[in-house]
Amino acid sequence: FGAGDWRTPTEARPAPPAVAVGDVLRLGDLARPLEATITAIDPRAPRLVTLRFDVDEDGLWDALYRAGAPIQYAYLEEELALWSVQSAFAGPPWAAEMASAGRPLSWRILSDLRRRGVAIASLTHAAGLSSTGDAALDALLPLPERYAIPAATVAAIHRTKAAGGRVIAVGTTVIRALEGCVRDRGALRPGVGVTDLLLDHSSALQVVDAVLTGMHGPGESHRRLLEAFAPPALLDRAWAHAVAAGYRAHELGDVALVTDLAA
């Protein structure tokens, strides 16, 4: 990004300075900066670069926590503390943005669901940026993302399917991990992988029957994914209703349950 901070909408910030392979970025406290060398620039969108940091993995995590802050939207009035973007499903710090669909699910709600017979399983997904303010880069979203699916989660899904139950994903990132695993590995298997799966109205879902998701309007990458569950016209009507009723979008907004009409 160009000059500015989180209080300025990304689309209102100026273009970033031009960079070249070999340039060194200094991040965070200038007295103790984290240095990163640009090793590649994506020809499709020059804001998208590959970095090599000057510290080992353990040192990198320490430096990132010291120099960084949670990604947040300009409509918020106060800076978000780290705990504000962690849900009951929070795990390894892989995600760039909060996987926000799980945020409203408190421990009390999860306990109530379990008592009612709902099985709850988790996975880890490196949720990337949902918006950059750059049309060329936004058109590429979501970028390839890493995931880790535990054996216990795979077993729980198989038990649910065998019993005639439904698999409800908490967030679009969960869909991408599960469906991407099936596409790339031929079946739902435990393990770590990277998926570049892009879902839309033409996608045939193999695992997920419904999704609890935030409010996503026309043109958003997450909205295209929801078209795997419901026709665009129906999603348009749902979005119009949400706007008229005052529902909130973004990472601290409301959520909706979208089901696969063919399931």
Assess if residue 75 is contained within a domain: no
Tell me what pLDDT residue 217 has.
85
Assess if residue 74 is contained within a domain: no
Tell me what pLDDT residue 181 has.
98
* Statement to judge: residues 92 and 220 lie in one domain: yes
Q: Which two tokens stand for residue 243?
A: 């706007």
* Statement to judge: residues 108 and 1 lie in one domain: no
Tell me what pLDDT residue 5 has.
85
* Statement to judge: residues 108 and 200 lie in one domain: yes
Tell me what pLDDT residue 31 has.
77
Cα distance between the two ends of the chain: 42
List, in sequence order, every residue forming a beta bridge with 212; answer none if it has no partner: 170, 257
Q: Is 111 exposed, middle or buried (0-12, 13-18, 19+ CB in 10 A)?
A: exposed
Tell me what pLDDT residue 29 has.
77
* Statement to judge: residues 214 and 91 lie in one domain: yes
Tell me what pLDDT residue 262 has.
56
Tell me what pLDDT residue 162 has.
97
The boundaries of the domain holding residue 60 are 1-68
DSSP label of 143: P
Cα separation, 40 vs 84, whole angstroms? 33
Assess if residue 123 is contained within a domain: yes
Are the C-beta atoms of 21 and 37 separated by less than 8 Å? no
* Statement to judge: residues 93 and 223 lie in one domain: yes
Assess if residue 156 is contained within a domain: yes
Note the pTM of the prediction, 2 decimals.
Answer: 0.90
Please tell me the total count of domains within the chain. Answer: 2
* Statement to judge: residues 160 and 60 lie in one domain: no
Q: Of 39, 68, 97, which residue sits at a domain end?
A: 68
Q: Which two tokens stand for residue 36?
A: 């990163």
Binned average pLDDT, 10 residues per bin, the chain of 263 residues: 85 89 89 91 93 91 87 86 89 89 94 96 93 84 95 98 97 95 97 95 94 88 88 93 91 88 58
Which letter, b or e, does each residue of 72-105 get, where b requires 16 or more Cβ atoms within 10 Å of its Cβ? bbeeeeeebeeeebbbebbeeeebebbbbbbbbb
Cα separation, 51 vs 63, whole angstroms? 15
* Statement to judge: residues 28 and 95 lie in one domain: no
* Statement to judge: residues 87 and 20 lie in one domain: no
Tell me what pLDDT residue 147 has.
97
Assess if residue 136 is contained within a domain: yes
* Statement to judge: residues 95 and 168 lie in one domain: yes
Cα separation, 32 vs 111, whole angstroms? 44
Cα separation, 88 vs 86, whole angstroms? 7
Residue 150: asked if its preceding bond is cis (omega within 30°), the reply is: no
Phi, psi of 144 (to 5 degrees): -55, 140
Cα separation, 213 vs 172, whole angstroms? 7
* Statement to judge: residues 54 and 148 lie in one domain: no
Assess if residue 45 is contained within a domain: yes
Beta-strand ranges (E) seen in 116-254 are 124-125, 145-149, 168-170, 191-195, 210-214
List, in sequence order, every residue forming a beta bridge with 34; answer none if it has no partner: 27
Q: Of 16, 42, 68, which residue sits at a domain end?
A: 68
Q: Of 20, 37, 68, which residue sits at a domain end?
A: 68
Are the C-beta atoms of 25 and 51 separated by less than 8 Å? yes
Are the C-beta atoms of 129 and 145 separated by less than 8 Å? no
* Statement to judge: residues 35 and 143 lie in one domain: no
* Statement to judge: residues 152 and 55 lie in one domain: no
CATH of the domain at 199: 3.40.1780.10
Assess if residue 148 is contained within a domain: yes
